[in-house]
A and B are shown apart, each in its own frame.
Chain A
Amino acid sequence: MIQKPVLPKNWVAVGFSQDLEKGQINIVIIEELELVIWRDHKGQVHAWDNRCPHRGTRLSLGFVRGNQLACLYHGWQFGGDGQCVYTPSIPDSTPPKSLKAHTHRCVELLGLIWVAPLDFEHKDIKGLESHLRDSMDFQPVRSMIIHCSAENIFNRLASIPFPPSRIMSRRLRSISNMRLIQETESVFLWEDDENRTLASYQFREIQPGFFQFNCESEGTADVLLFALQKIDSQKTALHLLLAPENWSSDPISLKLAYAQWSKKLRNQLEQIF
């Protein structure tokens, strides 16, 4: 039998809060450990091992009722703390305290859902916010799954510059027509037949798996945040957030433009080399 996977000893972002509504269930994998992530009707988010203690059925197939997650197989219901509270085939009996789902720490910050081992405290991650300037208004762009190892992504992300928002605002879908020329290690030129825009980039790791990519271009500053979620040795989820110089009069188009650009990023990262 294979070694059971365990959660790494750090906070891992697994998706955006806005992508998990009340009563919704998701399945995420962190370093081969399968988790069920679900939001109860009070709004609280939970992360558990994706396995019902009864017959090993994936809890992610189940359903949310009130503030409980039920397994699809026999309808066993588990409260927010993982405790089984109801077994419908013997409806009048109280399940023993030992009958529990295996739970993990799960909090929301910066619009992301974060998971960590149970002994981690929320205050351990709240410090993350202080790393980022207060004036930055971060919004989710999208989550994506990339067929590339987390290590390769980490090594290559800094060398794939993102378009400055001033270009995106002007030419939302024609970035593909632009040539990207590297001038120095951190300075790139975005050019097409009509315009030449210089941009200077800075990339740093804020904490394991969480990176900040700054872009300064002709007086404007944009920030992209990448949260990496290692799924397994060949697959990684990337959650992108954006804080542009300003959100402009059409934030939706700007978000859409970056969501479309991120597919190019994915393609580049997935290129077999």
Chain B
Amino acid sequence: MIIITFSFCTCPLLPKKNCILLNRPWYYNLHRPHYAAMMESADADDSIMGQTNRSDRLLAITNSFLLNDHPVILHFNPLEENKPGIYIVLIGYDESQGMVYYADPKKGGYIGMIEHDRFIADYWYTSSDDTHYRWDGSWLGFYPGDGNRVPGDFKFSFHHDGYMRSYIMHIPDGIDFSSPVPLVMDFHGIYQRAAGQKKWSGFYELSENASEKFVVVFPEGIPAPGFPSRHSWNTETASGADFGQWLSYAWQVKTDDVGYVRNIIPSGRSRC
């Protein structure tokens, strides 16, 4: 059975170049640790890059992307006290003033600002190979240049209700963010995952080919302990108390899936 929900992404891109826009997942969680990892293609690896499945910490994230057409790599070890790393997360960029806004999760979401050039020099690393990755950074509120989001697949994770939750977001080529665009939430079934749903459901292709393009988010349930592929949602399976092989671990532990989804959906809040 497929039940599809959707909402509209009210994320107006920067109408003025000096605007800073913070999206809800980060903005909403400024005073709670909320980390994000993203990959160029979620198909390449169904795990989260450099991250353990432990819900209490991230060990490491390495992000690579283009900043003003400049390939950069971020080395990010937010919670490893004894390892060198950079403890900040980019959350905004004011092009007119050349200022970067950032947050330090270790300081409870403290927001600071720093000159763009110094930020690059101090915190970002130019890729030494020919691999050019792209990151639109939208879910962390970073909009380079005119604010157009970069098409592609991005995998994000964040801490919610005691679990590390993740999802895949697909931004189709050519989508016009100058006005609000539709957002489809495409949920997988029991013992499936976001990457499989993206491959199987048809919404990935449709988002690219439809006359009205839309963003697709593929949320992901939580796995059962010891069964990393048995993802489920907090919903009782049809077989009732005798789950048989279709045990919904998320239903057993009553995960806050509604809160998780609300954290995914951007609010389009802006400081403009």
Q: Answer whether A and B are interacting partners.
A: no
Interface residues of A (CB under 8 A from B): none
